[in-house]
Amino acid sequence: MFETKYFDGLKERTYNEALLQIAGGSKAVGVYCAFTPQELIAAAKALPVTLCAGSEEPVGAAEQHLPKNLCPLVKSSYGYALTSTCPYFDLVDFLFADATCDGKKKMFELLNNIKPVNVLHLPQTYQTEESTLIWLKELYKMKSILEQETGNKITAAILNEQIKLFNDYRTAVKELFELNKGDNAVLFGKEICDIIDADGGIFYNLERRSKEIRESANTARERRQDMSFQEKVNNRSRILLTGCPLTNPKVINLIEQGSGMVVAMENCGGLKTVGTLVEINHDPMRALAEYYVKTACPCMTPNPRRFDIIGRIIEEYNIDGVVELTWHACHTYNVEAHSVKKYVREKFNKPYFQIETDYSEGDTEQIRIRIDAFLEILKQEGDRLKI
């Protein structure tokens, strides 16, 4: 698999640097979803820390308070907080939590008993001016809390500087994905995840982080001249992975342990959240509200931007088939999956396959069999087109 100095001790280094910043008086602020502008946290000279968890380990503890038939992402995140076994959760002084799905919203009420949670109330749609104004009001509330907790004033100039840094980070991640455009992919999906997530979710020294991602991209680009590598990946089916956040690697691993290669991901943290940039202007709060409220999440209704993103990826990345990941009890993604399947099959005539699972390993072999069968269908279709 991909090797680069980018990975060498990065997670440990970032964590230790965060400890030094906290020891020096900086606040660490936890976030749980893509709607929360981390630019605001950084502008208050605080450390944004992403906290959505992907391990089965703390789920049993969480089920003492939460239903068993709840999303594993919600249970794992709460379980880590409840058991105090996540060093990243221990770092944070307080949290911002955007009210997306019902499971998260009610979990946040319990989480508030462990650490202070500031809930940001999302509108139900991103298609109206009223929606933007609602979210702008919530962001001003967030700004006020940050200024009060950190003692640092967030000016328009400081905020625009952070927007520029986060825009450059988005551009670096997008450039990483775009290495897989066309026919000659150079990175497996798991490798892209490893590069993006290598710092453990602490957004510290973003300028250096963007530079290191680009260094990884430059190293990966050399694979285009590696004929043995190209021969190996050209025989794999090019997969778009969509659906719930890739907080657990079970499904992407199974695809790439088989004959598939995840060349693009639409999920949160993937192309959904880095495809566009925040506008730089005299009113950065308004620019942030306009940008973040349009996050193409199924918690919004309707959600046409997600279909536009999926369509562009299918065309630009020469996708052979689409796999949709749905965590158990994620009703928003599960309901929308019907429309995604119809869109992919009817508009693009591409095979579509949905996987519903959780973080446990109990169904791994069953899912492996189903994925391998889907990949065999793609292979046969590809062989037919070559004749």
The structural domain count of the chain equals 2
Digit-coded pLDDT (tens) for 235-293: 999 999 999 999 999 999 999 999 999 999 999 989 999 999 999 999 999 999 999 99
The stretch 91-108 carries a mean pLDDT of 96
CATH number of the structural domain spanning residue 115:
3.40.50.11890
The answer on 345 and 272 residing in a single domain is yes
Q: What is the pLDDT of residue 382?
A: 72
Q: Residue 9: which pLDDT band, with cuts at 50, 70 and 90?
A: confident
The answer on 22 and 58 residing in a single domain is yes
The answer on 252 and 204 residing in a single domain is yes
Last residue of a domain, one of 154, 184, 203: 154
Q: Residue 386: which pLDDT band, with cuts at 50, 70 and 90?
A: low
Digit-coded pLDDT (tens) for 29-81: 999 999 999 999 999 999 999 998 999 999 999 999 999 999 999 999 999 99
Q: Indicate whether 152 pLDDT > 60.
A: yes
The answer on 221 and 349 residing in a single domain is yes
138: buried, middle or exposed (CB in 10 Å: 19+, 13-18, 0-12)?
buried
The answer on 65 and 34 residing in a single domain is yes
Q: Indicate whether 183 pLDDT > 90.
A: no
Domain region containing 149: 5-154
The answer on 133 and 31 residing in a single domain is yes
The stretch 341-366 carries a mean pLDDT of 98
Last residue of a domain, one of 89, 124, 154: 154
The answer on 212 and 109 residing in a single domain is no
CATH number of the structural domain spanning residue 318:
3.40.50.11900
pTM for the model stands at 0.95
Q: What is the pLDDT of residue 381?
A: 80
Helix (H) or strand (E) holding 207: helix 206-221
Digit-coded pLDDT (tens) for 302-336: 999 999 999 999 999 999 999 999 999 999 999 99
Last residue of a domain, one of 154, 181, 208: 154
Do residues 28 and 91 touch, judged by C-beta distance below 8 A?
yes
Do residues 11 and 200 touch, judged by C-beta distance below 8 A?
yes
Q: What is the pLDDT of residue 383?
A: 66
Cα–Cα distance, 310 to 64 (Å, whole number): 38
Q: What is the pLDDT of residue 2?
A: 61
DSSP-assigned letters across all residues of 290-315? HHHHT---TTSSS-HHHHHHHHHHHH
Distances (CA, A) of 242 to 83, 92, 112: 31, 30, 31
Mean pLDDT of the chain: 95
Q: Which two tokens stand for residue 67?
A: 């239903």
Kindly report whether the peptide bond that precedes residue 298 is cis, defined as omega within 30 degrees of 0. no
Strand partners, 260: 237
Q: Indicate whether 99 pLDDT > 60.
A: yes
The answer on 241 and 211 residing in a single domain is yes
The answer on 123 and 17 residing in a single domain is yes
Q: Indicate whether 6 pLDDT > 60.
A: no
Q: What is the pLDDT of residue 387?
A: 46
The answer on 217 and 120 residing in a single domain is no
The answer on 214 and 84 residing in a single domain is no
Dihedral angle at the C-alpha atoms of 65, 95, 208, 266, nearest 10 degrees?
Answer: 60
Nearest to 321 by CA among 339, 340, 335, 338: 340
The answer on 336 and 197 residing in a single domain is yes
The stretch 106-133 carries a mean pLDDT of 97
